Each structure stands twice: as structure tokens, then as C-alpha cells.
Chain A
Amino acid sequence: MITPNLAEKFKEVVGAPNVLSEKADLLTYSYDAAVLEPVWPGLVLRPTSTAQLGPLVALCNDNNLPLTVRGSGTNLSGGAIPSSGGVVLVTGALNRILEINEADMYARVEPGVVTAKFAAAVAGRQLFYPPDPGSQAVSTLGGNVAENAGGLRGLKYGVTRDYVLGMSFVDSEGGLVKAGARTVKCVTGYNLGGLMVGSEGTLGLISEITLKLVPPPRAARAMLAVFDDVRAASETVAAIIAAHIVPATLEFMDNFTIRAVEDFSHAGLPAEAAALLLIEVDGHPAQVEEEAAQVERICGEHGAARVQVATDAPTRDKVWEARRAALSALARLKPTTVLEDATVPRSRIPDMVSAMEEIGRRHGLMLGTFGHAGDGNLHPTICCDRRDADEWRRVELAVEDIFAEALQMGGTLSGEHGIGLAKARFLENETSRATILWSRRLKAALDPKGILNPGKIVGA
């Protein structure tokens, strides 16, 4: 499909060292972090300036070549897995922070800037970029926008979408489209930026992003509450919100996860507890003081067996270390880790947690649930071995059951990991036939030849 002649043309745009075509190299761009089969691309491009993007997309379009953008390849739904023989465009070299504007509190970045590096650069100017996906040490901001990534701070601070003021992107013919502005308010034209957020590379290539920044909180207080009963934990969550306290983070861990973390890190977690809540309030020091006391009281009133407030930095770190260890601890139990992110309305968390336990039992699988209790975004995690064909079949059934439960409770298939390839066929269950058809018409109008990340979100 990609003739030597065409490969030459790509080289003219990005330079020969930035075009990879050897099989061994192509193999390393055939996967992302989703548990899916690899698909071989035909060519890998690594542009070094955003000005190269237009000509590259135009070349793909003229030659009917499917094109998949890749940030760091950490998404969990197959969005960065290419089409067979298609082109992968890696944004890693487009990693400049173009501007951090302190007076107007925004920043402009290229799409390949790594999330944590950006957050650190911004923090260096006494500003704050809240979205903190668990992969922030490696994920790119382009990938975050294209997946509408969330994180631990979603409840109070929102997700990536809430920080995108504007962007430039390259359309399927190589034209440069500008959306939004550098201001908080902007109503010029359609909300194209809104359409691009979460579009997983199917509508255009994001080439520059303008992100909103906020002042950092001046104080924070973390605490850990232990429960003998999942329902009590969940009621506590509801009560905290009902008291009009919005914690920056409100994380949940079930008994299976607690035991795994304790075995792994010996952090001193109570192995017998049915559930843990890890809570952090932040803001003005006086308000933090007051809210922390209130949260502590609410936990006690709703049946917490124990509440531990972190009064200094080391204990605070310990609380979050336990949460950060959750994925590692589960990942080490068995070779394959299937990390789901079905999300339900907050009030349904106890039902969802018992449904997850039941699904694990029914299919004879090791399943632990942890996640963002504050926004109902749970991560049921199946520890398995995909080499075991029988077990793997049961995993697939369990995943379908998880989706069904979430939908039945008025929830959604994915709170933050995206649809990609993995969940495309389930999308209609959550929405409607008409939704899929409307989305496909939209996609066909914007990308008539269907070259932009085909097969993702709306299927083929």
C-alpha cells in the first residue's frame, strides 16, 4: 500500500530519520495499553514541527491511507492501535510549551507535551493544572484532550474538557482549523473544540491546545476512613456531598483491593475492612480546617470504624501511596490486568460494588474494585491470564456483564478511558441506533475518505 515513492514523499516532509518502515520498528507501534491484539502499521512518522502536520495528512488523504495519531500510547481502549498497513503519526517530538500566561491564566502547548511535565512547569509559576490521570507521568496533553481524560481530582476540579479553552487542529484534507480562544468566554461559531474533546483522533489532528489554569489551593488535608460495610462507605460519600462539601478527591477501595495493596506494600491498611475511603479537602486554610473536621464527623456518624487524619506531609503521602499502589498491587496478582471504568451515578455505588463482586463470583474470576467514589467512576479490575483460553472467555463475558450493570443503573460504559476499538460495539447499548448513525454521518462529512483513525468510537 505504501510504495517506496510515497515513503520518499513523507521523508521530504519530516526528514528520513523520522520515517520508520522496518518491520521491527513497526511492530513497536502496533499496540497501546489496551488488552487487544496488535495490528501492524505500514509506516511510522515522527514530525518535528506542527507545520508538518498539514502536508502529512494531505498526503495520507490523497493516497487513501488510514492515519492514526499516537501520543504516548497509554490509552486503555485501543484508540492508538493503527489500521493494518496504515500510518502512525507520533506526536512525541511536538513537545513545546509555547506560552504560560500568568496574567490571563492560560497556557498554549503543542500536543506532545507530557501531562506531568506541563503540570510541573505551571506549578513553577504558582499556577495549577488540575487534571491528573494515573498515567500523567507519560501521557500527552493531546492524548488527554482526545480521550477527555479524567483523574483523581475530577469531583471538584472536573476533567480535561473543563480546561480546554481553544485549539488548532488539522482536518482530513490538511487544512488548519481554529477553535475557541484564549478567553474564558467565547461564542464565535460552532463549539468545534467541544467536538474535538474525546474524539480519539477520528475527526482531526490536534496541533495546538490552549488550556485554562487556576490558582493552586493554599492548603490541603487528607484522611483515610475504614468501613466494615460498603454501604456505610457509600452513604458517607452521599452525606459529605449533601453537606455541600466538595472534596478534591474521594477515592474508594474494596476489600479485595485493600488486601492486595496490603500484601504488596505493607502500608498498614486494615486487611479485614470492607471498604476504605481516601478523602482530601483543599482550598483556603480556614475552610480546609473546618471541612476536614466536618468530614471526620460525617464519617463517624455514618459508621466508619476508624478515621485517620493526615496532619503532616509524610502521613499524607502515605495515604496517597496506598491509593497509587492499587493498580500495581492488582497488576502483580496475575499476568493480565483488565482495567475497566464503567461509571454509575454516585448513589448507586453500593449496588455497583456488590454487582461487581457477584460478577466476579459468577464467572469464577479474581476481581477487585477501586476508583473515584466521588464521581461514581469505578475501576473494576480483573486479574487473569489471557493465555488461558477458557478463563479469557469468562473475562469477556464478565466485561459485558459489567457494562450491562452500569447501563442498567443509569451509568455509562466509560467514565474516562474512552471507547476506541474495545467498546465500539457496545456504544449503541448506551445510546441509540440513531446516535450511531448521526455520529457516522458527521464523521463521513468531515472525513469523506474515512482516513482518520477508522474503526474507533463509531465502528467501521
Chain B
Amino acid sequence: MAGAQELARMVKELDDQLVVCMRCGLCQAVCPLYAQTGREADVARGKLALIDGLAKELLDDPLAARDRLERCLLCGSCAANCPSGVKALDIFLKARAILAGYLGLSPIKRLVLRHLLGNPKIFNRVLRAASAFESIWSKPADELLGTSCARLGLPLLGERHFKRLADQPFLSQAEALDTTPGAGGLKVAFFVGCLIDKIYPEVGWAALKALDHHGVGVFLPRDQACCGIPALSAGDTEAFARLLRANLELFGSGRLDHLVTACATCASTIKKVWPLMAREALLSPEDVRAVEELAGKTLDIGQLLVNNFLPGQKISPEVPDAPVLTYHDPCHLRKSLGVWREPRRLLRANQNWRLKEMAEPDWCCGMGGSFNLRHYDISAGIGRRKLDNIRASGCRAVATSCPACMLQITDALSRAGEKIEVKHALVVYADSLP
């Protein structure tokens, strides 16, 4: 089987990373998927064994391996807690790319990833049409949106209680900006991200309000592209490369102190995955360096605000009878980037709420991009654990820092008939500003 050997050769390139796994099994303690299913193929140790099996030609069924690798929230809990320092997420993304290259992408995925995502204008037009015809969505369309944007969990199929597309995407309403720094003395690029643009435009507005309030100069180009994680999760390095190049062209030049985003997934993708995959995406050495530089400057917007404008400020005492607000840590913020204090600091700035921690605030909500669409039951099961913890906190609202988590939590709450609001931490903060 020449083909299988060829595949094994490609996978072997991951060998140096694969051998780091000592099969200790400690990742079982933190994998939200494994907690739900108890299957070894769902936890990092099992997935790494499968990839290793392909490399050693023990396993001659790449389709079955791909199926199992795709059962993953890419939440990074395993990597963050691995005693041996296995870079599980890097390995998973690269293995997906290799398998997609070997097996080919499904025609639908190719259509979406290469032609729609790579071209923001067409993408927007299709989505606008989509929001008008939600009732006739069918399976292929489901797939289309599921693989398209960072976890764009549309449309409203089956039992899902997803939030609808915004009538007007943020970027179709906001003006392109390139303002000079004011009192804050900083200039940042605002990377909006697909979900905030198309489902939660209010988060975009809150970002502009907060940046303006603190006198931060903003660069906001309207034709910005997707961060590329949906393409990479599907293993489509070509589409990813195209997006990376487009983003680099837009944000790579010009004098910026930081690139900020209010989407935890975009932040972690830009900071961690862009540099990781830049060489793979066949960028020139200069471009690779530019990507690394941009990644180095990238921050979650909460980090920017707290580090620059809030540290000296005293936290005013809590108002005892203010309604309770709890906070969910997005995996891509806490586990991937180690950011968790900052969003809480943002929330404390708003006196209309009283922050109370839920149990396991950093337990994954279960969204995991298109995982949610393909494995809705498991995803919803993971969401229920989150739901129970949110409920038990006795909160009136739950805040988080990732629009994808917001979608998942909204789904879980509304299915349970709970009247708990879901908010972005930045919106809570912006509400406290004049």
C-alpha cells in the first residue's frame, strides 16, 4: 500500500512531538469530552496513540482516525495540564491538515473554506441571504455554516436554540477607522472576528466605546477576514494560508502597539496558531517573522484595558444587594493564553453587578466549533454540566469573553427555560462607562 506508507511518512514528521507523550493518562482528568463519554479515543492520550498508530503503520484506516480526531473541542485543556508538556493542540491541527491533504476535503467543505471564507465579500452576501431564509436550511447548509466560521452555530435546526444572525453585521455598519491615539497614547488594531461581526455586533460597539473612552487610537479595516481556525480544524491548510496572507497584508504593516480582539478563539488563534502554522502555510521568511511579530502584539481586549487603564484604580466596594453575575472562562483564554484575572477585573468595574464565582468556571462549555454541529448530543451534554454550575451560582447573568461560548451557553440556558442573561464581559464593562 504505497498510499498508506506515504501517509505514514507525513505523519512521522510529528514524531518528535508525539514521543513526548508518556501515556500517563493524566489528561483524562481535564478533557471535557472524555468526562462525557469515557472513551479513550476521545481523550488526548488516545488521539495521540491513533496518530502514532498511523505513523507506525499499525493503523491502516485513516478515515477512522480522522473521524476520531475530529471528535475534539480543541479546547486545549489537555495541553494546559500535561505534565510532559505535550503540545497536543499543535499536533491535532497538524494531523488534521495531513489527513485532509491525504483524504481530500468534502466538496462542501472545500466550497465553504476555499471560496467563501477566503472571500469576505461573498461570504457576507451568502450569510445575509441565509438569514432571510433560515426556515429552508437543510443538511448541506448546516455543514456549510458549521465549518465556516469559528463555530458559527447557525442555523436553527432540530432542537437547537441558537441566536439568530444579526440583522446588520457589525462591519457593515461600523465605519472604517484609523484614528490617532488620544490620552491613552496607544494605537491598536481591532480584529473583530466572524461571530462578533455577524451574531454579536453589540460586542463590537462595546469595544469601540471602551477604546474611545480610554483614548486609544483604533485601526479598524472593514474588509478583514476570518482568523482561519475553522479552515485549520478541517485540515484545510490552503484556505488557512490564504486567510493568513490576507490578514497579514491588512494588519502586518503600519505602526500598531497591539492587535486586540474580543473573541477568545481569535485571540488564541492569532497568538498561538498563526506562528505555529506560518511556515506550513508556505509564507516567506520575512512574512513568517511578520506573523510572529503580530502574534506577539496580540491581546485579548480585556487584557489591554486592565493592564493599561485599570491597574491603579481601586475596586470600589461591592453593592450588597446588586444582582449576581458569574463568569465563565473560555478555554481559549484561560488555558491557551493564561488570561483569567483580567476579565474578572473588568466585571468588578460595573457596580450594578456583584461577581460571584460558579463551581468549575474553567470547565469547557462544550462548544468546540463545528464539533457542536457534528456531535450535538455530546456537546449539549457537556453544556449541561456548565448549566448546572451556572444555576447553582444563583446568578441573574453569566458573562464570558468569547462569542462562541456565548452561543453555547445561550443554547443550554434557553433549552432549560432559564431566564439568565448571557453577556460579554466587555459589554458589562462598557455599560459602566459614561
In the docked arrangement, what's the CA distance between A116 and B61, Å? 37
On whether the beta carbons of B19 and A27 are closer than 8 Å, the reply is no
- 18 more A-B residue pairs beyond the given contacts A22-B64, A27-B49, with a C-beta to C-beta distance below 8 A: A23-B64, A24-B41, A27-B50, A28-B49, A31-B23, A32-B25, A33-B25, A73-B40, A74-B25, A90-B38, A93-B38, A114-B29, A135-B25, A137-B29, A138-B26, A331-B22, A335-B16, A385-B19
CB of A29 within 8 A of chain B?
yes
> What is the 8 Å Cβ interface bit string for chain B, positions 27-70, against chain A (1 contact, 0 not)?
01100000000111100011001100100001101001101100
Q: Given A23-B59, A24-B68, A28-B46: A332 and B23 within 8 A (CB)?
A: no
CB of B84 within 8 A of chain A?
yes
Q: Which of A20, A28, A387 contacts B19 (CB 8 A)?
A: A387
In the docked arrangement, what's the CA distance between A332 and B84, Å? 5
B-side contacts of A328, CB under 8 Å: 83-85
CB of A68 within 8 A of chain B?
no
CB of A202 within 8 A of chain B?
no
B218 to chain A, nearest CB (A): 38
On whether the beta carbons of A138 and B19 are closer than 8 Å, the reply is no
CB of B20 within 8 A of chain A?
yes
A27 to chain B, nearest CB (A): 5
B-side contacts of A387, CB under 8 Å: 15, 19
In the docked arrangement, what's the CA distance between A365 and B84, Å? 19
B33 to chain A, nearest CB (A): 13
On whether the beta carbons of A25 and B49 are closer than 8 Å, the reply is no
In the docked arrangement, what's the CA distance between A25 and B68, Å? 9
Residues 315-334 of A contacting B (Cβ, < 8 Å):
327-328, 331-332
B-side contacts of A137, CB under 8 Å: 26, 29
A-side contacts of B28, CB under 8 Å: 72, 138
In the docked arrangement, what's the CA distance between A27 and B83, Å? 23
Task: Give A324's nearest chain B residue, CB to CB.
Answer: B83
In the docked arrangement, what's the CA distance between A25 and B59, Å? 10
Residues 376-433 of A contacting B (Cβ, < 8 Å):
385-387
| Count, chain A residues at interface, CB 8 A | 36
Q: Which of A23, A30, A38 contacts B61 (CB 8 A)?
A: A23
In the docked arrangement, what's the CA distance between A121 and B238, Å? 50
B-side contacts of A386, CB under 8 Å: 19
Q: Which of B24, B38, B61 contacts A33 (CB 8 A)?
A: B24
B53 to chain A, nearest CB (A): 5
Task: Give A335's nearest chain B residue, CB to CB.
Answer: B19
In the docked arrangement, what's the CA distance between A275 and B23, Å? 29
Most buried by A among B24, B61, B65: B24
A395 to chain B, nearest CB (A): 14
Q: Given A135-B24, A328-B83, A331-B83: A24 and B64 within 8 A (CB)?
A: yes
CB of A259 within 8 A of chain B?
no
Residues 57-100 of A contacting B (Cβ, < 8 Å):
72-74, 90, 92-93
- Across chains A and B, the number of contacting residue pairs, with CB separation under 8 Å, is 86
What's the dominant secondary structure at chain A's contact region?
Answer: loop
Residues 200-239 of B contacting A (Cβ, < 8 Å):
none
Q: Given A72-B25, A332-B84: A92 and B38 within 8 A (CB)?
A: yes
A194 to chain B, nearest CB (A): 28
Most buried by B among A114, A137, A335: A335
In the docked arrangement, what's the CA distance between A385 and B22, Å? 11
Task: Give B27's nearest chain A residue, CB to CB.
Answer: A138
Pull 18 A–B residue pairs with CB atoms less than 8 Å apart, ordered by A.
A24-B50, A24-B61, A27-B59, A28-B41, A32-B23, A33-B22, A33-B25, A46-B38, A72-B25, A72-B28, A92-B38, A116-B29, A135-B25, A137-B26, A138-B29, A327-B83, A336-B22, A337-B22
B363 to chain A, nearest CB (A): 14
Q: Which of B16, B25, B53 contacts A138 (CB 8 A)?
A: B25
A-side contacts of B49, CB under 8 Å: 27-28, 30-31, 38
A-side contacts of B84, CB under 8 Å: 328, 331-332, 337
A134 to chain B, nearest CB (A): 9
Task: Give A80's nearest chain B residue, CB to CB.
Answer: B25
Task: Give A325's nearest chain B residue, CB to CB.
Answer: B83
B64 to chain A, nearest CB (A): 4
B-side contacts of A35, CB under 8 Å: 22
B372 to chain A, nearest CB (A): 21
> What is the 8 Å Cβ interface bit string for chain A, positions 10-42, against chain B (1 contact, 0 not)?
000000000010111101111111010010000
On whether the beta carbons of B85 and A332 are closer than 8 Å, the reply is yes
Task: Give B84's nearest chain A residue, CB to CB.
Answer: A331
A253 to chain B, nearest CB (A): 16
A396 to chain B, nearest CB (A): 17
Task: Give A136's nearest chain B residue, CB to CB.
Answer: B29
Task: Give B47's nearest chain A residue, CB to CB.
Answer: A28
In the docked arrangement, what's the CA distance between A6 and B289, Å? 59
On whether the beta carbons of B83 and A29 are closer than 8 Å, the reply is no
Task: Give B28's nearest chain A residue, CB to CB.
Answer: A138
Task: Give B46's nearest chain A residue, CB to CB.
Answer: A28
Task: Give B42's nearest chain A residue, CB to CB.
Answer: A28
B-side contacts of A385, CB under 8 Å: 19
Closest 6 A-B residue pairs measured CB to CB? Answer: A24-B64, A328-B83, A28-B46, A335-B19, A137-B29, A28-B40
